[in-house]
Amino acid sequence: MHAITIPEPGGPEALVWAEVPDPVPGEGEVLVDVAAAGVNRADVLQRQGFYPPPRGASHYVGLECSGRISALGPGVTGWAVGDEVCALLAGGGYAEKAAVPSGQLLPLPEGVDVVTAAALPEVTATVWSNVFMISHLRPGETLLVHGGSSGIGTMAIQLAKSVGARVAVTAGGPEKLAACRELGADILIDYREQDFVEEVRRATDGAGADVILDILGAKYLARNLETLALNGRLAIIGLQGGAKAELNLATLLSKSAAVTATGLRGRSLAQKSAIIAAVREHVWPLIGGGRVRPIVHSTVPMREAPEAHRLLESSTHVGKILLTT
């Protein structure tokens, strides 16, 4: 098969389409003929040499894919050769074939084609696990999503609205904010021109956000704590704004607030399987019923992965960028 390899870490040009050995499905795994793979910020970090795959995972880039099952490994039940699926991966999505633990497979939601489905596993698993399973967003509460026009952001807006929450977003520029509004966002904040702390306080009559989904990390930590409501929950899922910052415990105590920081890639198979099962139970019916939909900005041939990474790093897109085989 062919896969995107990284002979040496670096810029987008470090991604090289090359012939490599086919993966072999192990115990409890299936082999998927990949139709498409999602492009994520974590892939950029791996390309740069800063985010190596977990022990035992494929060393090729790619945290999600879609396609058709072509072989079953020992011990797999409930799936058959020919099934169309999408999957959460610890690595290996940027390839023509991928070996996937069966607990990380999802059937295609009703009404979603096999290519578009590649936009779903990472964002649905990330949003559902952090916003609902950990932060317990409830109807009537306010969710603040940083990067509202991203793949994660566009899914978070829709899922939060589906349970009756109010959604505030930050994004850069009127076009991205307009896209967030179309998905249901209630409070639109241009981070280039406005202070999100002031805007959220104003929109909530001083109460603040009950849950914040943050991709910036250190850069926004202090301001996120200011923005939290009483009993608020801050869920950190990215470090685009740095990894080290001071945490004011007095602010946390005064608000009875909580801060969590999680990733998907390094979690155990059991944890990932539990998240995927929850996504299938709670999110898939919403997608099949048309209340939530994948937002795809563009598709790029997989052999042209460097162009997809340049597009991602330009931050001019709305939603997901996909690679197709």
Residues 203-222: tens digit of each pLDDT: 999 999 999 999 999 999 99
Confidence of residue 83 (pLDDT cuts 50, 70, 90): very high
Mean pLDDT, the chain, whole residue set: 97
In this prediction, residues 292-311 reach a mean pLDDT of 98
Would you state the pLDDT for residue 118? 98
Contact assessment for residue 18 and residue 65, using Cβ atoms and an 8 Å cutoff? no
Contact assessment for residue 131 and residue 137, using Cβ atoms and an 8 Å cutoff? yes
Flag whether the pTM goes above 0.85.
yes
Which amino acid, one-letter code, is at 39?
V
In this prediction, residues 163-183 reach a mean pLDDT of 98
Is 203 strand, coil or helix? Answer: helix
Residue 49, phi then psi, degrees to nearest 5? 90, 10
- For the domain spanning 2-122+265-324, the CATH number is 3.90.180.10
Confidence of residue 116 (pLDDT cuts 50, 70, 90): very high
Would you state the pLDDT for residue 159? 98
Confidence of residue 263 (pLDDT cuts 50, 70, 90): very high
Residue 261, phi then psi, degrees to nearest 5? -140, 120
Give every CB contact of residue 276 below 8 A, 6+ residues apart in sequence.
Answer: 88, 103, 104, 105, 106, 121, 125
Would you state the pLDDT for residue 23? 97
Whole-angstrom distance, CA of residue 254 vs CA of residue 252: 6
Give every CB contact of residue 55 below 8 A, 6+ residues apart in sequence.
Answer: none
3-state DSSP helix/strand/coil % of the chain, to nearest 5: 35, 25, 40
How many of the other CB atoms lie within 10 Å of CB of 59? 12
Contact assessment for residue 239 and residue 214, using Cβ atoms and an 8 Å cutoff? no
The domain made up of 135-261 has a fold known as Rossmann fold (3.40.50)
Contact assessment for residue 84 and residue 105, using Cβ atoms and an 8 Å cutoff? no
Would you state the pLDDT for residue 248? 92
Contact assessment for residue 163 and residue 182, using Cβ atoms and an 8 Å cutoff? no
In this prediction, residues 80-93 reach a mean pLDDT of 98
Confidence of residue 125 (pLDDT cuts 50, 70, 90): very high
Q: 163: which 2 tokens?
A: 């349970």
For 10, 28, 123, 190, the CA distances from 94, given in Å and listed in that order, are 17, 21, 17, 33
Would you state the pLDDT for residue 146? 98
Residues 6-61 have pLDDT tens digits of 999 999 999 999 999 999 999 999 999 999 999 999 999 999 999 999 999 999 99
In this prediction, residues 273-287 reach a mean pLDDT of 98
Confidence of residue 139 (pLDDT cuts 50, 70, 90): very high
Listed by start position, the domains of the chain span 2-122+265-324, 135-261
Would you state the pLDDT for residue 109? 98
Which amino acid, one-letter code, is at 242?
G
